[in-house]
Every structure is written in structure tokens, then in C-alpha cells.
Structure 1
Amino acid sequence: MARQNPSTSSATDGGTVSVSQVMDRIPVGRYHRKLLAICGSAWAFDGMEVIIISFTLPVLIGAWGLSGFAAGLLGAASLMGMIVGNWGWGWYADRYGRKGAFQWTVLTYSLFAGLTAFATGFGSGFALRFLTGVGLGGALAVDTSYLSEHLPTDRRGRYLVYLDAFWPIGNILAVALAWTFLAALPGEAGTIAVPVLGEVAGWRLLFASSAFPALLVFVIRSQLRETPYFLARTGDVAGANERIREIAEANGEEYTPIDAADVRETPAADFSRLFEADIRTQTVMIAAAWFAINFGYYGVFIWLPQTVGAANVVGNVYLYFVLIGLVQIPGYFSAAYLVEKVGRKATLGSYLLLSGVFTFVFAAAMPGVGLFGLGLSGFWPFFGGLLAASFFTLGAWGAIYAYTPELFPTEARATGNGFAGGVGKIAAVVGPILAGALVTDGYLLALTPLAVAFVLGGLVVLAFGRETMGEPLF
């Protein structure tokens, strides 16, 4: 039997109402759109920080004389840090609050991303990228928990997909910065003469410029407050009602306060709560889905600049990445529509399956493959397969972020988000390393395990997932 969360329990015979019921009575309005813009900005900057290493890695290999193995470790350093960040900051947010964790994670990834500009070799570069990842992973776990606890049930899934739609904006921003500092600057290998400092390598300027998201911390501190769910769960009923009143007034709506008699303080859960009988199957299911999507996505995208170059079917790689980023946006919007029409489970499962199919298509179109004589080689099979894989993979990301927080109770929501995300980041480390090890024997061999992971993840979701569309948070 599912454990009931006292802070969000059903209405009693005395007429009291729960946080979820009160929040459902406030239609989406100006406050929610402002909140989405703030949370989405943090999300976009997260995407920017993650993908920047894909463009700087080839430069650093030459600058620091890195072996293939060292380059792979450096490329995966932030992903390793994200494992710690997912688990640690999710646990922190369930105990000490979503807002505080949110601002500290943004500050962490901004600070250490900027400090990477001062790295002198593999050791310092790895350490700084790892610490950047601790902030990045934490921001992903906390951001979704924070936003989900401000949304009415009928729009929560759609808005969480909208949140993830900010990710390609960050990717496009990373492409623009990489082009500016690695391709457009004068000098060999993207260096620029600075009269006082001497010659500063373009990659250092790129990392230094990536520290600007720290300015978002001032917005978070001044514009955001703690979530009503967290306040009610910790026994601060007056604080929860004040937050609900602020949200309602910002949207021009009246509000009904929750009753202190209907709220009991609930301690934050530890990781063992995720494996209790009522939610254990869903914990394992969503963790498997996170493993699959991370394994496939990072295995493909960390090495994508090299893959595109090896395909030898395009000229300007930066323009190509902009096109890939642009096609991701309708992928998100299609998922945003479907999670509220056919459900989270069906959308996530089917998008993962199609991600695997189209990853295999563009892998089979690589030069020299000639798989089964199907004639898949050439520009259009490669280009079309890659764009379709990008469309469905990023749509699956949107769906999984909408689905995950709904599977866990309030006292373990950020912890559950962080646990699943951390399992995924283990796969995000393994995927690029495996692809890099196999690519010497051919791109089809390197990319096929990634395609298979997508497919298996989709099947697990469809077989074991519980549909949460229309259910209130508990």
C-alpha cells in the first residue's frame, strides 16, 4: 500500500484541503511563466556547460599532449562530478530546502567552469571539470523538484518538458561561444593577443566566459521562495500558505489556505525509502531509463564533432551543430504535447525506442559501412538519421524529466530525482569511453551499443512503468 504523505493528504471530512488541491486551483499564469523563465535559464546554462568540453577537447589534446585515454577521462570528468552532485544535492534539498540548494548548485557550476580557464594540464583540468559537474548534477536534480512543486497537476508534465526544452538553447549558446573563441579569433589554434596578459589561448577565454551564469544567483535569491510542498512537509504551514497566497495573487486568483490540522511534519527520507515496497519497482524502472538515455545520448554527443568530421558530408561543423540544436526544439514540444495527451509512460518509452532506431540509421550511413547492401551511405541518410535521432532523444529527455518527480513522494522527491540522475551519469561516463574504445574498429561498432541501450530503456519503461498523468503529487 502506498505511503501517504501527510503534507499532501486528501481532504478530510472536516473540509480541509491539501497542498496539491490548493495548487491545482491556481491556473497557470504570469507567476508560472516567470518561474519557468528563471528555472529554464539555469537549465540552458547547465546544457551550455556540459557540451563546451566537446569543442575544447580536441584543442586540449594538442595543447597538453593527452593520450586517448586521458582525453576520454577529461571529457567525462564533469559527468563523474554530476554523479556526486545528483546524489548529494538531491539529498540536501530534501533536508534543507529546494531554493538554497538551487542557488548553491548554480553558483558551484558557474564558479568552477570559469576557473577551468586557469587549468595548466590534465590534473587541474580534470579536478575543475569534476567540480563543475558536482554543481551541474545538483542543479538538474533540484531544478525539476523545485519547478514541479509549483505547478498544477494538469500542466505539470507539459511545463517540465518546456523546462528541458531550454537545454538546446544552452547547446546553441555553447556552439556560438566555441565558434567565437576557437574559430573566429585570430591566431593559431584560436589564440588572441592581449597587450597586458600576453597571448591567451581561445579555450581559456571560452571557459572564462562560461562563468557568467553566476549572475543568475542574484535572480534566484531575489525572485524565488521555498516551495509550498517543502514548507508544509517541514511543518511550516504559515509559510506554505504565504507562498500559496503570493502565487495566487501574482496570477490574479483567490486562494484557499491549507489547514494546520491536516498537516503533520514529515522528516526527509534517506535513500532506503526509494526501495520500500510501494515505490521500489518505479525506482528501478526509472533508474534503468536514466541509464539508457544517458548511455546513448552522451555516447553519441560527446564524440559528435569527430563523428560528423569522419562522415565527411558537411563543411562547417558549427553550422551543423546549430541545425542539430534547432531540430531538438520541436522534439521537446512534441513530447510536451504527448505527455498530457497519451501519458508520460507511452511518450518516454516510444521516444527512447525511436532514438535507438535512428541512431542505428545514421551509424549505418557512415562511410565504408555498406550495411547489408542497403545503400544507406551518403549525406541524406546520415543527415536525416542524425536529425531524427536528435529529435527523439531530446524529446525523451523532456519526457523523463516530466515523469521522474511524479514517481516519488515529497519527502524523497529530490533524493529520488538525484538517485535516478546519478545512475544515469554513471552511464554517461561509460558510454563515451566505450564508444571511444570501439571507434577504432568502425563507427557502426561504436554506435550500435548506444542504439541498443536506447531500445532496451524504452522497453523497460513500457513494460514496468506506472502512468502518472493526471495524478497529484503525493
Structure 2
Amino acid sequence: MSGTTQAQAGLSTPAAVPIEDTSRTGFYADMTTPERRTFWACAAGWALDGMDFMIYPLVIGTIIKLWNVDAGTAGLAGTVTLLASALGGWGAGYLADRIGRVRTLQFTILWFSFFSLLCAFVQDFNQLLICRALLGLGFGGEWAAGAVLMGETIRAQYRGRAVGSVQSGWAVGWGLAVLAQAALFSLLPAEQAWRWMFALGALPALLVFYLRAYVEEPAVAAEARARAAAAGDRPALWEIFSGPILRTTVLASLVATGCQGGYYAITFWVPRFLTTERKLSIVSSTGYLAALIAGSFAGYLAGAWFADRYGRRTLFLVFSLGAIAVILVYTQVALSNELLWVLGFPLGFFASGYFSGMGAFLTELYPTRLRGSGQGFCYNFGRGVGALFPFLVGALSQTTTLANAICLFAVGAYILFFAAAYALPETRGRVLHADA
């Protein structure tokens, strides 16, 4: 990357390290004890985060019937959760720059676990809407703090594969939510089963005990905060919108908007698509969701390797094109249910795998003193705008098929993702420093 481009991006010019071992799993054997502890703590956090978020899309059909709400209103709860997560992520990112990554992560996990549990006791849709909004603040903050923690703890040559492999925990959590749905809706009446689903969302709180005992603050972050305190230099909340860093913030926010808008348009409504337009029962749709989740898990792992082998930017370009192609076939071609089941794997693969590069990419775009704020804002700005997609897809499905609504918003989002990623520099191998 040229000096001009680096200046525009708001970055110094640290030397990139060569990626010597590019195997898919070789990075793990060479990890230090702090790196491994952080790896597993964040992997568990992502898994429980994914389980918690996916509970609502899985019970949305029951909520619609139980409280007689339309699809657009039901989708609003998903939108509100994600909008709140945008604020929570930005705030948590800023807090992580001020008080530390690990402390912020602990607080956000306790926050969204509590409000997930509270969702199990609501008595009407308005109460559920409020609880999901409050849950979203912690949900967004957990990603912001955890992604920065991982990005700074893992060495440059392994960062893409390690952070990307941790991202695969989301698919594990999604799978746990689907298994819980199949079990609970088989054993209990639907009127009770959905409440137990939300109660399971309190499980992440247990992770805090591990974080307190074993996970250390990244040295580069601690050093940067110590230097800032000694110099009386406290980064301002709005500093990521000033000077040469502004361009980075705008483009990275558009990347995050496109990738998350497409993802939420697909994953939020596919369970409903299967049970309505494809006429599958909740239990029988589990196999179709399993194919989607398996593809998602494989995509995360493949994307993690791809990000270190070929670069973060190249990962985004290739997978966004793949996602566009598969979603067009999945929603617009008349397929038998058997073929639809098979196509679930590549849909999950391309619609999820690019997330493996996002954490490392955003970490590498910003200087250490602003990394939490920048990464937290960009990713969660995208989450906030992407939050509109569940509502808009639901609203549009009132005038066209749900398949058409999913396709329109998903394809549009992936086009934006491709264009914004193309305009940003490659960051693979960038070494992080306390003063840069």
C-alpha cells in the first residue's frame, strides 16, 4: 500500500510480517498460553452470542401466532435489537479504549445475559420489544470488546485464522439454538417452549468466571492506555470522524453495512420461509437449517484460512459474489425441497464465511488508541443499518413473496459490500504497536 493510501486510511506504516505457515490449523500449535486462553474464551462468547441472537428468529412464528402480530411488526423486534446493538457496540468500543478490553467484555456479557432471561417472563409484545432493545446494547458491546481483545492478543501472522476460527463459534451457537428448539418444541407446548428458549440465553453469564480467572489484557492496549494517561491524552468519542481517519471510518462502515445487511436478510427470515412458502413444520425444517448451519461453520473456517492466505479484502470480494449467486438460485429458481436442502450448505458457506476476516480487518485499520472506538463504531454501524433489513423484508413480504423480499435486500447488501471492500486497502500481516 502506498504512503498516500496509508495516510488516507489514517494508518502509520508498520512493517507487515510474512505469513510463513499458511496451513489451516498450524497456527494453533504455535500459540502461547495467553493466546489460547483468549482464543477459547472468545470462541465460547461468540457461540453463546450466536445462540442468544438466533433464538428470536426461531420462535418468531410462535410469537406471531401467540400475540397476533403481523410479520413486519414481528421483524421490528429483530430490528430494534440490532439498532440498540449498534449503540452498544460503539459505546463498548469507546469504553474498551478507556478501561480495558477484558473488563468491558465481562460487563457486556452480564448485561445481555440478564435481559435474555428477562425476555422469558414478558407478558406481551411491547414488553418483549423493550427487553430485546436493552439486550441489544450488551449484544453489540460483546462483539466490539471481544474482537479487539482477540485482534490485539493474537500475533499478526496468525490473526486472520485465529480470529476467523473464533467467528465459527457463531455457527455453533446457532446450531445449539436449533437443537434447543427441536427439543423444547417437541417436549413442551409452543406457548411454554419459546419462554424456555429465551431462558437459555442467560448461559453466557457463566463465561464471566473464566474471563476473570484466565484472560489477560493485551499488552499493546495496556501500554497505549498508560501512555495516554501519562500524557493526559484521552481519545475523544468523535475522533474517528476527523482528519485522514474519516475515510477509513466511512468505508469500513459501508463494508460492515453490506456484509451484515445481507446476512440478516437471509438468516432472520429463512426459518419463516421454510415453514410458510416451503410448507415445512418447525421440527422438519430443522434438517434444512442444519445444512445451512453446517455450511456456515465450514465457511467460517475456510474464510479464516483464506484471510491469512490471500488477504482480508480478497476474501470479501470473492465471498460477496458467491453469496449473490447462491441467494439468487435459492430464492428465485423453482427447486424441489431436496435440492433446496443441498443448496443450504453453499448458502451458509458464502453468507457467513466473510465474517472470518472482519475482526482482523477492522483491528488492523485503526491505531491502538482509537481501535476500540473505530472497530466498535464501524461494525455496529453496519449492524444498525443492517438491523433495518429484518423489518424491511417482513414489510415487503406483505406485497410480494417472502423469497422475493429476502432476495432483493440480500443482493443489494452484497453489492454494497463488494464495492466498499474494493475501495479499502489490504491489511494482511500488519503488526500492531502501542503508538500506532
Shorter-chain TM-score range: 0.7 to 0.9
Instruction: Find the counterpart in structure 1 of residue 133 from structure 2.
Output: 130
1:184 counterpart (178, 183, 186) = 186
* Larger deviation, residues 204-213 vs 67-76: 67-76
State how far apart, in whole Å, the 1-side matches of 2:157 and 2:314 are: 17
What is the CA distance between 1:158 and its match in structure 2?
A: 1.2
Structure 1 residue 84 corresponds to structure 2 residue 50: no
The number of residues matched between the two structures is 409
The residue type paired with residue 332 of structure 1 is Y
Structure 1 residue 235 corresponds to structure 2 residue 244: no
| 1:137-192 CA distance string (max 9 Å, x none) | 000001010111111110111111011111100001111122222x2114xx435x
Instruction: Find the counterpart in structure 2 of residue 321 from structure 1.
Output: 289
1:33-432 superposed matches below 5 A: 33-181=36-184, 183-186=185-188, 189-190=189-190, 201-235=192-226, 265=231, 267-312=233-278, 316-365=284-333, 376-379=334-337, 382-432=340-390
Percentage of matched positions with identical amino acids: 26
State how far apart, in whole Å, the 1-side matches of 2:74 and 2:125 are: 9
State how far apart, in whole Å, the 2-side matches of 1:343 and 1:444 are: 33
The residue type paired with residue 272 of structure 1 is W
Seen in structure 2, the aligned counterparts of structure 1 residues 381 and 209 have a Cα distance that, compared at 3 Å, is: closer
The residue type paired with residue 185 of structure 1 is L
* Larger deviation, residues 88-97 vs 68-77: 68-77
* Larger deviation, residues 446-455 vs 82-91: 446-455
Kindly report the root-mean-square deviation, in angstroms, between the aligned alpha carbons of the 2 structures.
Answer: 2.5
- 8 Å contact from structure 1 (residues 94, 412) kept in 2: yes
Seen in structure 2, the aligned counterparts of structure 1 residues 448 and 210 have a Cα distance that, compared at 3 Å, is: same
Q: Secondary structure at the match of 2:244?
A: coil
Instruction: Find the counterpart in structure 1 of residue 20 from structure 2.
Output: none
2:424 counterpart (465, 468, 471) = 465
Q: Which runs of 4+ in 1 moved over 3 A?
A: 8-11, 263-268, 379-386
Instruction: Find the counterpart in structure 2 of residue 17 from structure 1.
Output: none
Q: Which has the higher contact order (CA 8 A, sep 6+)?
A: 2
The residue type paired with residue 452 of structure 1 is G
What is the CA distance between 1:424 and its match in structure 2?
A: 1.2
| 1:195-217 CA distance string (max 9 Å, x none) | xxxxxx22222212221211111
| 1:391-434 CA distance string (max 9 Å, x none) | 01211111222211110111111111111122112222211111
- Give the structure with higher Rg (CA): 1
Seen in structure 2, the aligned counterparts of structure 1 residues 339 and 53 have a Cα distance that, compared at 3 Å, is: same
What is the CA distance between 1:298 and its match in structure 2?
A: 0.8
State how far apart, in whole Å, the 2-side matches of 1:38 and 1:444 are: 37
| 1:90-125 CA distance string (max 9 Å, x none) | 111111111110000010111110111111112211
Query: Structure 2: which 5+ residue stretches go unaligned?
Result: 16-28
Instruction: Find the counterpart in structure 2 of residue 433 from structure 1.
Output: 391
State how far apart, in whole Å, the 2-side matches of 1:168 and 1:265 are: 43
TM-score (norm 1): 0.81
The residue type paired with residue 81 of structure 1 is A
TM-score (norm 2): 0.87
The residue type paired with residue 285 of structure 1 is L
Query: Structure 1: which 5+ residue stretches go unaligned?
Result: 12-25, 192-200, 238-262, 366-375
The residue type paired with residue 132 of structure 2 is R
